[in-house]
Amino acid sequence: MLRCIQQDAGTEMVKAISLTIALIALWLTLSGHFTPFLLAMGLASVLFTVYLAARMRLLDDEAVPVQLRPALVLYWVWLAVEIFKASVAVCRVILAREMKLSQQLIRVPWNQSTEMGRTIFANSITLTPGTITVETGKDAFLVHALTEDFTGADGFEEMGGKVTEVEVRHR
């Protein structure tokens, strides 16, 4: 799909600065050396990378998702708990003496307005053991579930609602 490149200069500037900060943090984390020579090399390569990204028009919502709300971190914590619960449920299925499988391909509607939000929702579904996003339709995902215990519509609705809350900073 073609990327949307219509955005004003201010937004692009914010994204460029955010990318610079993130890349400097990445360099410092991976290097761990703080000699002036290495810091200068790092800064030079970071600036060159940001220049290349801007020239390739990569500074959009997809590459630099600063439009996401910081509450995304809280969502990840909630998701980690859900992953743990679902993992235990899958382990129960695997370790049961008679495996009660009832595989299903079910429809899970989404209501996110941005592609980034839909991606986060689909990845969250896949990340939770027991459910895998297979394909996407016009207004819903096709999700494969291991047993009917994983197909609760309430659970998907709750997850989708939480993603919708964090997908855009201001509306």
Partner 1 sequence: MDMSLLDLACNIATGIAFATGSFFLLVGAFGIVRLPDFWSRLHAAGVIDTAGAEIILIGMMFQTGWDIATLKLILIAFLLFITSPTATHAVSNAAFVAGLRPQDLKKDETEQTLSDVPTAAIPYRSMLPESEPAAPSKSSSGEGSA
The 3-class secondary structure across the chain, one letter per residue, is: CCCCCCCCHHHHHHHHHHHHHHHHHHHHHHHCCCCHHHHHHHHHHHHHHHHHHHHCCCCCCCCCCCCCCCCHHHHHHHHHHHHHHHHHHHHHHHHCCCCCCCCEEEEEECCCCCHHHHHHHHHHHHHCCCEEEEEECCCEEEEEECCHHHHCHHHHHHHHHHHHHHHCCCC
Least distance in angstroms from the C-beta of 33 to partner 1: 10
Q: Does 95 bind partner 1 (CB under 8 A)?
A: yes
**In the stretch 38-77, what mask flags binding to partner 1 with x, by CB under 8 A?**
--------------------------------------x-
Choose between 63 and 91: whose C-beta lies nearer to partner 1. 91
Binding site residues, partner 1, CB under 8 A: 26, 29-30, 32, 76, 80, 83-84, 87, 90-91, 94-95, 99, 101-107, 122-124, 126-130, 132-135, 137-138, 140-142, 144, 146, 148, 151
